Chain A
C-alpha cells in the first residue's frame, strides 16, 4: 500500500507563563512512501518523527494536511479503521496474557464479515509466530521473554491482522548493541517476506541507514532530506544532514573561498571553480582524507586509534569545529606505518578526496556544490 503525506502539519497547544501558544511539531510534511518500501524516519529526539508516526497511525489528528493510503483518504479515519500495525517502543505487550493470547488479541476484535473461526485465528497466529521465529514460546508470558523475543512478539501482534502499513516506533532502542544489529536484520527479513509498507522511527542513523529503502531526515518538524541511505550520505543537502549521518561523524572546518580556491586556515586544499568568494563551512568525511607528506592540509598529530580493519588518525586543526579531526585510513596503505610512528604534536599532512568534501553556506548552512551542475 502506497502512503502519501500531503502538507502534514501538527501543532500542539502550549500553556506556560507567557500565555497560550502553539508549538509546531511537524511542519508541512510532504512525501510519498512507495508500496512495499521500508522507510526510516530519522532525526534527533524532539524532531517530530514520533509525531509523524502517530499521525500515520491515526492516534493523533493532523492540524492541517491529508494522509492517503493508496487512493483512499484516511485523514479522518480512526486508527482501528486504517488497517495499521503499530509496534511500540516498549512493546506494550499485555503482561497478563500469554504470547499466543497477545498475538490472537487483534484477531479476536474482528467483527462482521472479517470475523474468523477459532481454528482460523489459531492458524494465523501460528503462521505469524513462525514468521518471526517465536513459535516455541507461545505459552510463555511476556515477562518470561528476553527483550528481543518480546520485540518479535510485538511485531507478530502487529502483523497478524495483515496490516496495510506497519509502523515501528524506536523498535530497537530497548535492546543491547548485539541484539540490536541482529533484530534490525530480522525486521528487514520480515518486511521483505511480507512486503508490507513499513515506516520506522529512530534516532540512530546507523540503524536507519542499514535497513531502510529510503530515509527521511527530520529536524524540528521539517524534512531536511529524503533519499536512499547511500545517496543521502554521499550528498547531504545541508550541514545538519551531513553532521547527523555517519559514524564517526563528519569533520567540519571553518573555511573560505578566495579566487576559486578553497582554504582551510591558510592551506589551499581544493579547487572550487564554480563557487563565488565567501565564508563557508567545509565538511570532510573521515574517509575523505589521504595521508601524504606533500598533502595540502596541515594538522597536528594527536594519537592513532587502531580499530581492526581501519586505523583512525586523530589530529588537531585550528579551523576545525570538532574538538578533533578524525581521519580513517585503511591499514593496507604503506603510509600507515609512518603515520603510526609520527610523534604527538608533529605536523601531518592530508590531501582531501573531492567527492568526500562538502561546502555549506556559512549563514544558511545549505550545500554549495563544488562541481559545475552539482551532483
Chain B
C-alpha cells in the first residue's frame, strides 16, 4: 500500500504539480487579486495606487443603470435559453435516437454549429435579421410575406433584440447538448425497453418513467453547465450587436466588466473587479442550488 504516508503520496503530488502550478498562477492568484481590487477605491493599475478601502465599488456598480441593465439582460438570457435549449436538444436527440437511416449524417449536421466560429455565425445572423437601407433582411421578408410588419431585430425594439440573442444562443449551445444527450440515450440498456414493451408500456410512459430518469444525470449536467455558460455570455452579444453594447442596451455582466476595463468609458479596474465578484457570487449560488436540487433528485 504505497499511498499510505507521505513518502508514497509525494509521487502523486509531483504528478499534480504542473497543473497546480498553472492553476495557481493563472486562476487562484488572479481571483484573489480581483477580490482585493474590488475593495480598493479608485485603484490605478499604472501607478498601483488607490484612495482607500471599502465597499464603495460595490455600491457604485449596484447603482449603475448600465450594470442593472446588464444583469437584467443576463438573467433573461439564462432563464429563456437554458430550459429551451435543453428541451429542444432532448427532443432532437430522442428523434435522432429513434431513426436509423441518416442518423450519422444528421448528427453531423446538428453538430456543425459547434465547430463554426462564433463571429462567423454572428455575421450570418446579421444577414438574416439586420435591416439596412437596401434590404429588410431575410427574416423580415418572411414576416412581411406572412402579413406582419417588418421589425429591426438588430437596432430596433428591445424585445426584438432579445429574441435574436436568445435564438442565437440556443442555436449555438444546442450541438453540444445534442451530442451529450444522444450518447446518454444510447447508453440506456435496451433490455429496459424490451421489459417495458412486454409489460405493454406506452411510448410516452416509457420515456417519462424509464428513459428520462436514466439520463437525468446528464440532463442535470447540461443544465448546470448551461447556466454557467449563459451567465458568462459576451462574445455572442458582440457578434450580433457590435462592441458598444451599453448604447444598444444589450450589455451582459461580462460585457460590463470588459467595458469597465477597456471600453470607451473604461479604465476602472476597481468597478470591473466588483462587478466580476458579483457575477462570481451569482454563478456560485445558482450552481450550488442546482447541485443541491439535482443531488436530492438523483438520490431519491
Contacts and interface: CB of A to CB of B under 8 A. Distances in A.
Interface string A181-221: 00000000000000000000000000000000000000000
Given A90-B191, A92-B189, A96-B213, A109 B198 contact: no
Contacts of A59: 194, 197-198
Contacts of A95: 214
B188 to A, nearest CB: 11
Nearest to B190: A92
B202 A109 contact: yes
A58 B197 CA distance: 10
Contacts of B210: 94
- The majority secondary structure among interface residues of chain B is helix
Interface in A75-102: 78-81, 84-86, 88, 90, 92, 94-97
Contacts of A92: 189, 191-192, 194-195
B296 to A, nearest CB: 14
Interface string B153-195: 0000000000000000000000000000000000001011011
A105 interface: yes
Nearest to A101: B209
Contacts of B205: 109
A15 to B, nearest CB: 15
B199 interface: yes
Contacts of A97: 209
B201 interface: yes
B18 interface: no
A57 interface: yes
Nearest to A96: B213
B199 A88 contact: no
Contacts of A157: 199
Given A94-B210, A96-B213, A96-B214, A88 B194 contact: yes
A79 B192 contact: no
B245 to A, nearest CB: 45
A246 interface: no
A172 to B, nearest CB: 17
Contacts of B199: 80, 105-106, 109, 157, 161
Interface residues of A, number: 23
Contacts of B147: none
A78 B197 CA distance: 9
A92 B192 CA distance: 6
Contacts of B7: none
A205 to B, nearest CB: 26
Contacts of B194: 59, 86, 88, 92
Contacts of A58: 198
A109 B195 contact: no
Nearest to B191: A92
B5 interface: no
Interface in A41-100: 57-59, 78-81, 84-86, 88, 90, 92, 94-97
A157 to B, nearest CB: 8
A136 to B, nearest CB: 21
A109 B201 contact: yes
A83 to B, nearest CB: 9
Contact of B198 (A79, A90, A94, A96): A79
A78 B195 CA distance: 13
B12 to A, nearest CB: 31
A78 B210 CA distance: 20
B197 A109 contact: no
Interface of B: 189, 191-192, 194-202, 205, 209-210, 213-214, 216
22 contacts: A58-B198, A59-B194, A59-B197, A78-B197, A79-B197, A79-B200, A86-B194, A86-B195, A88-B191, A88-B195, A92-B189, A92-B191, A92-B192, A92-B195, A94-B192, A94-B195, A94-B210, A94-B213, A97-B209, A109-B201, A109-B205, A161-B199
Given A80-B198, A86-B194, A86-B195, 16 more contacts: A58-B198, A79-B198, A80-B201, A86-B198, A92-B191, A94-B192, A94-B209, A95-B214, A96-B213, A96-B214, A96-B216, A109-B201, A109-B202, A109-B205, A157-B199, A161-B199
Report the 6 A-B pairs with minimum CB-CB distance, sorted nearest first: A80-B200, A106-B199, A96-B213, A92-B195, A92-B191, A86-B198
